[in-house]
Structure 1
Amino acid sequence: MEVGRQQRRRGRRGGRRGRRSGSPQGTGEHTQSQRNEKVQCSNHDATHMLVLSPDGKLSEQWATASAACSKTRLVKEIGTQDIVQIACGDQHAMALSRGGELFSWGQNAHGQLGVGSQTSLIPQPQMVERLKGIALAQIAAGGAHSAAVSLSGAVYSWGKNDFGQLGLGDTEDRDCPSYVGALEHWKTMFISCGADHTAVLSKEGLVCTFGAGGAGQLGHNCTRNELMPRVVAELWGARVSQVACSRQHTLVYVPSLDEVYLFGSGEDGQLGDERKPNQLIPLPINSPVDTGKSCQENNISQKAIEVIAGGIQSIVLCKENKNSCLNGIATLKDEDVDAWISNSCSNHWEGIKKNIRLIFSSEACINGSFLEKRDKHFKTSKEVSGVDMSEVQLFYEKISKKPEVFQEVQKEIEKLLPALSSSPISPENFRVYLILPFLLQGEDYSSFHSLRLLAQAIMKLQPEDLQTLECLWSNLETSFFNELVVLYQRVSQKNLSQFVMEFRYQQRNPYNLHPHETEPLQILQLLYQVNSRTGFRVQENKFYVPKVKEIIGLFGICIGETALWKLTKYPCIFAMLDKIVIHNMECSTLSSPSDRDLIEMGREFWVFPVRRQCLLQDIWTHLNRAPTQQFKKFIKVTFLGEPGEDEGGLSQELFSVAARTLCQPSTGPFRRAASGLAWFPSQASSCGDIFFRTGTLCGMALYNGRTAPFPFPRALYKKLLSVAPALEDLAELLPAEGRSLQGILDEECDQILESLDLDFTIMEVEGSRDPVELKKDGANIPVTKDNRKEFVDLYVNYVFNESVRKPFEDFMQGFLRGCPARNWKIFLPVELQIVLQGHTEFDWHLLEKLQEQRGLEIKS
């Protein structure tokens, strides 16, 4: 029921509503005033109070047992922090600094301080580390629980939770702030905590309550506790502007009706009707004082109403509108930047440096800056950063023209980077990782050093947090993603140039790379993976680090456990020719007769005699008899009864003829699809060792630098490299099925989709009459718009994985046997396909010339 309809229900007795001056007592929230006035807040019973003086000193007052006097102490531990907000619980307190740090102290039996400690009493202020990096807009304290709201409307709660007052769906206490996922995208603007319940107000004026409901303080027309946030339906459409929780009742103010509504306990008359103990839904109070008239009497031209709920009090203040906003943490504003630029050479410089230090020494302040306009940042999630990257770029362009300002910003960022939070609590924490690289675009030492430190901070993140950052990277505009790649490619090039110089002057161990050299490479590799998942928006050559060519030349054919070997962990930095060279280097090293096992065998090459008329039979005989170490040798093929020495041509002929024979449609072990490509037979539970032998042959071809022109689809090379095949791969192998599945994904008409009469089964390609279920009970699960993506994914998975599991496993084992080198995994699937199957446009003679120029030994 809308509030407008409730005006007919007004109580007959007036509540406590009227004019107040100064600071109210008996409220769990603080009042805001000009900086030349005191700011104070107290708990619901006014037994615990914080007072912030105009000179920035914070005092704490406790009422004694007699209640006639109180004891006061100065909170010295916060030091010179500029406090902008304070909040009091029954026996704990919180203070938010302008630099974005939240401090808490007092009783901690339920974890209400949020510091992760089980200590029941912490008398001195401690920083709430878990919220480090969150740009907080408001803090609130309840009886023994606490809450905070970020600038982008995210809600965090901690402490006592026996009634569900944390909104986390359970009744377990929390000693660290937890992200209230149920309020994601709720656009929370304000939060208030009662003794055991909580109320949040959205930007649209909606009210959610949760926690204890025994006195009706949740406003849901019942006395049930709520473990999850629930909208107060009776206030729907009212556009509430203020909400305040007392110990067991709640007040809201609706400006369009100029009414205050209350619900909850009324045993002491706080609901305006002493005969009604509890009120279960919001009803307006009858006020003995008209607020409009009251404001006129006090010469207040623009009316502003503030509602306050005390332990057993309901207070309405009529005051000047200029004091109605919360004081917040420092964030970057356009006018501040313009002032920095115009006054950087004047006597204002010391003040400018102080402001720069305040913002750029704080992870929270940076995360609260550059937010998207028009409320877009309220949609912040693992996919949406909430950052306006064009504003970040504009800020960089402005300050880069003023060296003094730019250097000061860089200096503060450099000091901040080692202290970045490694345990993000919500997606808002990740903004700093998007913003800072674009403020470090210079090519000076300071920019490079800071980018290295940023890479170090990123690599300290947990795997699940790295996934969130990768998701945010994937949603960057292409221009910004490209610039990110350029930045880390440039840092990597700089690092490797330094390595080469030190190596040449024998100042470096050739077997080690320092963390500051590998961490930017790790970032580059992560960016490459994001790029590949999003359709290669940035060209692959943007990831290449040219200096690796020189490093390859430095090591000759010695790869071993050198720095070059370690660089192969980051394949994206190598061009394809470089990868081939590295692969050949490893094979040459493995085939060297200096290997003890090969010395004992007494020969460098594996002489491989075969008869042309019995080619496959002779190949299998050699493979069956060969010990594992034999595969480290390069082969020398001779066709019995034919003249000629193998300089590469004879061995290539062996692999080519064997591939054609094994792919014969009538006699070969592979089935030929409609596309003409070869694939494994489905559900082949027992197929001898033919696929193991074929895999061994393909591995030998790769190891010996030959092609094995099997007409395999790209999916095979993806599987060899542990990359999951996709629908596009199915379309390559089975074009008709690929088109049909794509059509299912693209179909927008529900009726057409239903008319296809599809379920989660698949008919065997070989023509078996019995369908195979793609998931349990798949025959009874129809394909709909909601599950069609799952159907397509399971279909692709069945064709490329489930149906060919045994033959592919045999092939893979054979491949690893035939190619004892391991660096072939640096190839991309398309590159491995080109190397193994051959490519008409690939210039192998150019490759050989490049190898000769590097002084590498070419094995024929």
Structure 2
Amino acid sequence: MPKRRAPGHGPSSGAPLPPLLFFPKAPFFREDLGNIRQISCKRGCLSAVRTDGTVVVWVGAEKGGDPQSHPRSPRRIKLKKNVKVNSVDCETSHLLILSSEGKLSEHSVDFQNVKSQPRLLKELGDKQMVQIACGDHHSMALSKGGQLFSWGQNDYGQLGLGGEMTSSREPQRVQALDGIPLAHIAAGGSHSLAVSLSGSVYSWGKNAFGQLGLGHTEDKYFPTYVNALEHKKTVFISCGGEHTAILTKDGLVCTFGAGCYGQLGHNSTCNEVFPRFVAELFSVRVSEVACGRWHTLVYVEDLWKVYAFGSGSQGQLGSGRTCNQLIPLPVDLTEKGRKSKQEGSASEEKIKVIAGDNQSILLFLKKKNSYASINQTLARIEEEEIDKWISDSDPNCWRNKRQDIRLIFSSVACINGSFLNKSQDEHFRTSQEASGINMSAVLLFSDKIAKNPKVCTEVTNAVKKLVRSQYYPATSPEALRVFLILSVILRKQDHLSDWLLLRLAQIIMDLETEDRQTLESLWSSLDIPFFKDLVDIYQRLSSDEISFIIEEMRNSEMVDNYWDAPFLILQVLYEVNSRTGFKIQEKNFYVPEVKYLLHFPIDNLQQVFTEAPCILDMEAKILLHDLNRRVLHCMFSWLDSPNVQLLVRRQYLVQDTWVFLRNMQVCQFLLFLQVCFIGEPGFDVGGPSQEFFTILGRELCAPEAQIFQLFEESHLIWFSSQVPSEEDVHFLIGNIFGMALYNKKIAAFPFPLALFKKMLNVPLTLEDLKELSPTEGRCLQAVLDEQYDDILESMMLDFTVLKEEGGSKVSVELKKNGANIAVTKYNRKEYVDAYVNYVFNDSVKEQFKNFLDGFLRGCQTKKWKVFLPTELRLVLLGHTNYNWEQLEKNALYDGYEKSDETIKNFWAVFHDLPEEKKKDFLAFLTGTNCIPGKGMERFVFTIVESRKEDPDKWYPSACTCFRYLRLPRYSNQDVLREMFLFALEHYEKFGLS
């Protein structure tokens, strides 16, 4: 398709072309400059780079004057032999010259002379610069390694180094942008901007007119992210004296800052503190934009047109007039000496626009001109280069590639600028929810270099240099990509790579909270295979660390030097996994070897296990909790008795318990509980206390107790919003719960999972209400799912809920003025969240607080927090997933063999029992019909031969603490069944010892 051209302005035919047009007319361009590579035009100084590698400089006759006013003869500056100039830029006092080798020289400008001896900026060391930018009194330079340097005056913070220093003669690294892969930098009068490869824009310095685009006029002393330009696909920036323009990949132009001369192009002289698109340019695709001090130029390559707007006092708009223009208007190129030429050559040429103080320069270049190489960016991995890295055998070529590898992989910015997901411009959408990285490309690169040991070694050594440096990334998703990329590249299992991963893990854990949260968001955006690989890496590293600790202890060595970071990273990944709805199963986080260390009193390791409970499976968590309670118990074993004894009467069980708890001292809760039922023989080593919790729970949860609200549909209970008859009843029930956990007993109160989530500060959702009250949950889900407004409207819902009070129901508002706020498609999610919050939080705030306070008094070990909500419920309430065949498999025998007739008869009788009688058997054997948290697979009991002399006077009996069942040698199943059933019905008499 032919390119569009402005009528009358496109080339058609004619003579050879002049190299440039200058507005206003420049008398000093009398000599032939030949092929110009670049031009810089600033206050009182104009410089041009020629293709022969020299620089030509004109300086105004007097300080602050325009170069075209009484111009002096040009001076030519040439660097050392065989060193060519890449680009130049200047400020009020000096000229910067960047060589093709990336070396930066500084030349003083005093308006009387350009000193011939350049000063090489040795402070930059051997760093290769790729871009330079000068403001009025400050300068910036971007290195190929991605570091930004600034120097000069800092009155407004334009150096981005903070406000402590007023100026800096030597280049200083702008640490606030460390790790961000910058694509372009620009300097205004006293403000600075930078744009990243993914289009993120940062601004700092003077902001009196809003030229930073931050929505206010406060100066900024550090680079600040321009939120208003997020996801706008910014690819280029230009700064004027007090205004700024940005160019997007789609060819749109945004301007902001001072607008007093119309330089923003919005048909107004107002300032703009937010970036605003230039509406007059919506119909064209802009290729270039350049800001002068008070005017702006844009070039539309498709139309071969240049537009100008802003101050025209010196004729710099090219219109032949000296008035200002408030909107972009095209420049008449032919009227200014631009000869027409043949139609066919239009595609061979392009225009470069340069805006100075009061000048505009149009530089006509062949498209094959090397001007495009002037604004280079940082080094990064290009997909087409990877195969060359691996396949090149030429020693000379390998030398260059090795330098590139070392530069890229020892620079966070270069790594972050590589592997961008350019499919449909995805990397321009980089945010906390999207890394902008093509992780498949990273994986492919890792696999490829793994096949070339030489390349692989260079990459690893470069990363080693990087992680040994003190890296503090900028608070930006782009700066944190490095942790995603390196985790894949270093996943090969060798000693050095593992060490580097461990070091990276430590760096991650040392990040500021905000940066960690950003990284966690990036982790959550990973596809499941990559997320699982990440978990596998740190699970393996954690396992290796524990193996190392075990080996050290076997050698009787003190263990005080180990990495705890992989454990902590696993915990963070686990939390990310939980928030995203469990991408992968919990077992992927377990480190089986950890249970071997729990018995060793290594304080700092115990702390790690508490901070990273995800590495512990259920068995290990129970063991950790048990060990911790034993340690606490030992601390108080010096008291009169190592146990605290509770004497209760069966018929007054609740009353006796409350009296006992109210009189207990805090330290007594650290002792183990023994229960004695008054008037009943037996010594409690586990059985009577378990029965105590079982019976107490049954009585407190009964409807007539009026303590809890019973939900008949789910058979679950929740705190009642009604005021209880005893004010401290919820506190005392919390005591009971805490004591049950501390004493490893089951307190089978039928609470929903919501209770345990609240205890562990896990947010509750509609799913929790569905468990407690299925009908309510389904109704609220229907509100969320309803597609038609009229049906939702017919429900006549508002932000209220009915509450039981004094035997009747009253309406409670879920938010202020809730009775007058109808539920609509736009606020229904808020309504459902508020409803769930009311049921589980607001309506029972005082009750739950008292319960939790009581729980913490009853169970003073902190290790219970290692359990997940589902695990804590399992430990406290047990479960009812019965497997009677497994029970038989686990049985042990004392005095019997499995093949004995009595044993066969016993199991025949047992399996023939009704389900409820089988549950009674568990209660007969243990004091509760709930299965402990470890499950039926680990439920073991022993059948012991009874030594009664008179078998006819024998009844089956159990020792609950040791799970013994005594049986005589009967072979008749009928007799065994009769005796057995009688014992189950009267197990209080026979089951406890």
Q: What TM-score, normalized by structure 2, do the two folds share?
A: 0.79
Which residue of structure 2 aligns with residue 603 of structure 1? Answer: 641
Which residue of structure 1 aligns with residue 715 of structure 2? Answer: 676
Which residue of structure 1 aligns with residue 447 of structure 2? Answer: 397
* Secondary structure of residue in 1 paired with 2:462: helix
**Residue 599 to residue 74, structure 1, CA distance change in 2 (3 Å):** closer
Q: 1:196: how far off?
A: 0.5
Q: 1:40: how far off?
A: 2.9
Distance 1:219 1:130 in 2: 32
How many residue pairs get aligned? The number is 835
Distance 1:268 1:565 in 2: 73
Which residue of structure 1 aligns with residue 39 of structure 2? Answer: 24
**Residue 859 to residue 522, structure 1, CA distance change in 2 (3 Å):** farther
Which residue of structure 1 aligns with residue 190 of structure 2? Answer: 144
Q: 1:324: how far off?
A: 5.1
**Residue 691 to residue 283, structure 1, CA distance change in 2 (3 Å):** same
**Residue 566 to residue 242, structure 1, CA distance change in 2 (3 Å):** closer
**Corresponding position: 1:482 with 2:497:** no
Which residue of structure 2 aligns with residue 84 of structure 1? Answer: 130
Q: 1:469: how far off?
A: 1.0
**Residue 845 to residue 506, structure 1, CA distance change in 2 (3 Å):** farther
Equivalent pair of 1:294/1:318 in contact (CA under 8 Å): no
**Residue 277 to residue 421, structure 1, CA distance change in 2 (3 Å):** farther
* Secondary structure of residue in 1 paired with 2:627: helix
Distance 1:706 1:793 in 2: 35
**Corresponding position: 1:541 with 2:587:** yes
**Corresponding position: 1:828 with 2:878:** no
Which residue of structure 2 aligns with residue 854 of structure 1? Answer: none
* Secondary structure of residue in 2 paired with 1:476: coil
Distance 1:122 1:647 in 2: 78
Distance 1:394 1:536 in 2: 27
Q: 1:570: how far off?
A: 1.0
**Corresponding position: 1:361 with 2:410:** yes
**Corresponding position: 1:758 with 2:801:** no
Equivalent pair of 2:798/2:823 in contact (CA under 8 Å): yes
**Residue 753 to residue 428, structure 1, CA distance change in 2 (3 Å):** farther
Equivalent pair of 1:266/1:278 in contact (CA under 8 Å): yes
- 1:326-725 equivalences in 2 (<5 Å): 326-343=375-392, 346=395, 348-374=397-423, 375-419=425-469, 421-509=471-559, 512=560, 514=561, 517-553=563-599, 555=600, 559=601, 561=603, 563-592=605-634, 595=635, 597-600=636-639, 602-673=640-711, 674-682=713-721, 684=723, 687-725=726-764
Distance 1:810 1:33 in 2: 82
Q: 1:434: how far off?
A: 1.0
Which residue of structure 2 aligns with residue 39 of structure 1? Answer: 86
Which residue of structure 2 aligns with residue 731 of structure 1? Answer: 770
Equivalent pair of 1:295/1:303 in contact (CA under 8 Å): no
Q: 1:703: how far off?
A: 1.3
Question: 1:5-29 CA distances to partner (integer Å, 9 max, x unpaired)?
Answer: 998999xx99559998423241599
Equivalent pair of 1:148/1:157 in contact (CA under 8 Å): yes
The code of the aligned residue for 2:611 comes to K
Q: 1:755: how far off?
A: 3.5
Question: 1:529-550 CA distances to partner (integer Å, 9 max, x unpaired)?
Answer: 0111111111111111122111
Q: What TM-score, normalized by structure 1, do the two folds share?
A: 0.91
Distance 1:526 1:566 in 2: 13
Q: 1:694: how far off?
A: 1.1
Question: 1:387-422 CA distances to partner (integer Å, 9 max, x unpaired)?
Answer: 011111101100111122112111111221243643
- Bigger relative CO (Cα 8 Å, ≥ 6 apart): 1
Equivalent pair of 2:22/2:361 in contact (CA under 8 Å): no
Equivalent pair of 2:618/2:934 in contact (CA under 8 Å): no
**Residue 708 to residue 813, structure 1, CA distance change in 2 (3 Å):** same
* Secondary structure of residue in 2 paired with 1:523: helix
The code of the aligned residue for 1:836 comes to L
- 1:104-503 equivalences in 2 (<5 Å): 104-288=150-334, 302-322=348-368, 323=370, 325=372, 326-343=375-392, 346=395, 348-374=397-423, 375-419=425-469, 421-503=471-553
Distance 1:598 1:691 in 2: 29
Equivalent pair of 2:9/2:333 in contact (CA under 8 Å): no
Question: 1:154-185 CA distances to partner (integer Å, 9 max, x unpaired)?
Answer: 11111111111111111122222111111000
Q: 1:813: how far off?
A: 1.4
Q: Aligned match of 2:838 in 798, 815, 835?
A: 798
The code of the aligned residue for 1:369 comes to S
Distance 1:386 1:457 in 2: 22
The code of the aligned residue for 2:655 comes to Q
Distance 1:437 1:493 in 2: 17
Q: 1:696: how far off?
A: 1.0
Question: 1:668-689 CA distances to partner (integer Å, 9 max, x unpaired)?
Answer: 3101124221000126488511
Which residue of structure 1 aligns with residue 813 of structure 2? Answer: 773
Equivalent pair of 1:33/1:39 in contact (CA under 8 Å): no
* Secondary structure of residue in 2 paired with 1:694: helix
Equivalent pair of 2:179/2:473 in contact (CA under 8 Å): no
Q: What runs of 5+ residues in structure 2 fail to find an aligned partner?
A: 11-20, 27-32, 54-82, 882-932, 942-960, 964-993
Q: Identify the range of structure 1 (210-219 vs 602-611) with the bigger mean alpha-carbon deviation.
A: 602-611
**Residue 499 to residue 5, structure 1, CA distance change in 2 (3 Å):** same
Q: 1:137: how far off?
A: 0.8
Equivalent pair of 1:213/1:223 in contact (CA under 8 Å): yes
The code of the aligned residue for 1:582 comes to L
* Secondary structure of residue in 2 paired with 1:169: coil
Q: Identify the range of structure 1 (810-819 vs 391-400) with the bigger mean alpha-carbon deviation.
A: 810-819
Distance 1:324 1:764 in 2: 75
Q: Identify the range of structure 1 (217-226 vs 560-569) with the bigger mean alpha-carbon deviation.
A: 560-569
Q: Identify the range of structure 1 (195-204 vs 791-800) with the bigger mean alpha-carbon deviation.
A: 791-800
Q: What runs of 5+ residues in structure 1 fail to find an aligned partner?
A: 851-857
The code of the aligned residue for 2:861 comes to A
Distance 1:31 1:77 in 2: 26
Q: 1:859: how far off?
A: 9.7
Which residue of structure 2 aligns with residue 855 of structure 1? Answer: none
Question: 1:625-650 CA distances to partner (integer Å, 9 max, x unpaired)?
Answer: 22222222222222222233334222
Distance 1:302 1:587 in 2: 83
* Secondary structure of residue in 2 paired with 1:568: helix
Distance 2:48 2:490 in 1: 40
Equivalent pair of 1:200/1:243 in contact (CA under 8 Å): yes
Equivalent pair of 1:179/1:425 in contact (CA under 8 Å): no
Q: Identify the range of structure 1 (735-744 vs 783-792) with the bigger mean alpha-carbon deviation.
A: 783-792
Distance 2:227 2:96 in 1: 31
**Residue 492 to residue 467, structure 1, CA distance change in 2 (3 Å):** same
**Corresponding position: 1:747 with 2:786:** yes
* Secondary structure of residue in 2 paired with 1:470: helix
Structure 1 vs Structure 2: percent identity of aligned residues? 50
Distance 1:780 1:162 in 2: 46
* Secondary structure of residue in 1 paired with 2:204: strand
The code of the aligned residue for 1:587 comes to R
Q: 1:62: how far off?
A: 3.4
**Residue 521 to residue 94, structure 1, CA distance change in 2 (3 Å):** same
> Which of these two proteins has the greater Rg computed from alpha carbons?
2
